[in-house]
Amino acid sequence: MTPIYIGDELSAAGYRLAGLRVRTPEPAEVLAVFRWARNETDLILLGVEQARRLPPAELQQALRELAPQIMIVPDIRRRTPMRDLPTRIRTALGVKV
């Protein structure tokens, strides 16, 4: 299955050139597109800005599941900062500090 990128238009252009399917939803559409993508692929690359628009509990549950794999990635302009790497790793592994 082809991976799917959900995020900003500029980053999406690069991911499209790399062969991914891309979606650049409006803020109100992010949740619906995320749910759709979970049924369409084995790998989702999710822009950090779009990840922050999802209900936290739903995103955390999706990150814990093994399929599809979900990676939160920065946008090319880095407008929305990501959490530091150690925190991201602990969250992905489900380790509480």
Q: pLDDT tens digits for 50-93? A: 999 999 999 999 999 989 999 999 877 766 555 665 666 677 67
Residue with tokens 């990840």: 51
CA 62 to chain CA centroid, nearest Å = 10
Residue 95's pLDDT band (boundaries 50, 70, 90)? confident
How many domains are there within the chain?
A: 1
**Percent of the chain surpassing pLDDT 90:** 72
Domain that holds residue 10: 4-93
| C-alpha to C-alpha distance for 3 and 80, rounded to whole angstroms | 23
Looking at residue 11, what is its pLDDT?
93
Q: What CATH number is given to the structural domain containing 60? A: 3.40.50.10580
Residue 94's pLDDT band (boundaries 50, 70, 90)? confident
Dihedral of CA atoms 89, 91, 95, 97 in degrees, nearest 10, equals: 100
